[in-house]
């Protein structure tokens, strides 16, 4: 396998340019810059808010220095609170190409688009100078999320990913799972999985925090689609979600944008700290994918029963589906057909081996279904974490 060597020693499986807007007022300019390169690996990311938010700034800094990113064009209106100069500094200090466009100082929309196009064109001409080196399994970081879960998820796609995690970790890779709000009822299992007693208690309290947060809001993460798909309760859904984690001890609790200190299995907390003031912890699955990308995940395993067509900017998405009807109805978008466990008697071992072979295929430069279809969804909103302050 081959990867792109970055100055910090990490290796990417993609070598793309990110164009990021720092407030919704700059979104149009950034979008037009990206649209000027329909056949190139130019990804649009951004933060729509204007008020300051340490969480969003941390996530954006980590995304712009992600191992899959080789250059960044930052588009600022000029009067938003986002610390644009600090972001540019982080990008350039990482050894990546960086360009800052401040619309209020650059003549306006047309001039800013033209400057951005020139900047991207220059970065594209230099990306081939990034060293290409051997990419080892120990270099790999993989995240997993589930979306559109149904009654098949808990015994097909999710445990197949759990088996995949076990095998990847045995090869030296780093794996991350998430969503404490979808582990309510499994907090005692999480406590037992902690690599140390202290980590186990942190995991237990993390799920308890999510439970309290959702009760304050008056609902949890159990959706109408989950019920129609045959799930009965949040605990029913949680057990299926939990099976994505495999069987290894959990080495630590991460917050969005934290980089794991060593290989192994980690859990990411996505529920804000403090009072329930920030709305639904993640308004869609792509918000969770963004947070995993910010931790450094090269790619994401997205499990589903009801199905999804979403992909992602920065980190390629591999969709693993466990429902035979969905795999047939959404065949254009499903990468791994875990429903063969139901329809053909395939084993979890079979599906996990197939998934690892497919990951190898994607690391070598081949596109996932969502990449080939042009899916580059992205969402970053407001949150508060104690760990993001200071």
Q: What is the pTM of this model?
A: 0.94
Q: With 0-12 CB in 10 A as exposed, 13-18 as middle and 19+ as buried, what is 277? A: exposed
Q: What is the per-residue pLDDT for 243?
A: 84
pLDDT tens digit string along 268-321?
999 999 888 877 787 888 999 999 999 999 999 999 888 899 999 999 999 999
Q: Which segments of the chain have a pLDDT < 50? A: none
Sheet order of strands, 174-178 included: 250-254, 264-268, 174-178, 141-146, 299-304, 317-321, 336-337
DSSP string, 143-203: EEEE-S--TTGGGTHHHHHHHHHHHHHHTT-EEEEE-GGG-TT-HHHHHHHBSSHHHHHHH
Distance between CA 117 and CA 17 in Å, rounded?
A: 12
pLDDT tens digit string along 178-224?
988 888 888 999 999 999 999 999 999 999 999 889 888 766 665 55
């Amino acid at each position: 396998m081959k990867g792109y060597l970055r100055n910090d020693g990490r290796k990417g499986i993609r070598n793309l340019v990110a164009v990021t807007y720092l407030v919704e007022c700059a979104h149009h300019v950034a979008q037009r810059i990206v649209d000027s390169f329909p056949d190139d690996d130019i990804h649009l990311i951004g933060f729509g808010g204007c008020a300051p938010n340490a969480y969003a700034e941390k996530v954006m800094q980590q995304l712009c220095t992600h191992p899959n990113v080789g250059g960044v064009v930052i588009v600022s209106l000029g009067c938003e609170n986002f610390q644009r100069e600090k972001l540019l500094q982080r990008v350039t200090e990482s050894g990546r190409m960086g360009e800052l466009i401040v619309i209020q100082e650059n003549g306006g929309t047309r001039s800013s688009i033209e400057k951005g196009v020139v900047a991207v064109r220059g970065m594209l001409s230099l990306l081939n100078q990034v060293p290409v080196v051997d990419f080892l399994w120990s270099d790999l970081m993989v995240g997993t999320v589930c979306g559109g879960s149904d009654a098949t998820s808990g015994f097909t796609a999710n445990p197949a990913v759990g088996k995949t995690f076990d095998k990847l970790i045995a090869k030296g890779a780093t794996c991350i799972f998430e969503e404490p709000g979808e582990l309510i009822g499994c907090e005692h299992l999480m406590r037992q999985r902690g690599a140390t007693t202290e980590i186990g208690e942190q995991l237990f309290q993390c799920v308890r925090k999510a439970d309290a947060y959702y009760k304050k809001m008056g609902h949890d993460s159990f959706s109408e689609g989950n019920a129609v798909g045959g799930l009965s309760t949040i605990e029913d859904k949680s057990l299926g979600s939990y099976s994505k984690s495999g069987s290894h001890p959990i080495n630590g609790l991460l917050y969005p944008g934290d980089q794991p200190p060593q290989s192994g299995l980690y859990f990411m907390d996505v529920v804000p700290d403090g009072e329930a003031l920030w709305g639904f912890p993640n308004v869609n699955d792509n918000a969770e994918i963004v947070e995993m990308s910010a931790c450094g995940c090269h790619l994401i395993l997205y499990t589903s029963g009801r199905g999804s067509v979403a992909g992602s900017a920065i980190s390629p998405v591999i969709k693993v589906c466990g429902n035979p009807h969905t795999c047939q109805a959404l065949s254009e978008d499903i990468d791994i057909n875990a429903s063969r466990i139901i329809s053909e008697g395939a084993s979890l071992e079979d599906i996990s081996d197939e998934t690892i072979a497919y990951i190898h295929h994607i690391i070598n430069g081949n596109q996932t279904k969502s990449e080939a279809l042009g899916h580059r969804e992205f969402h970053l909103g407001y949150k508060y974490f104690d760990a993001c302050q200071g």
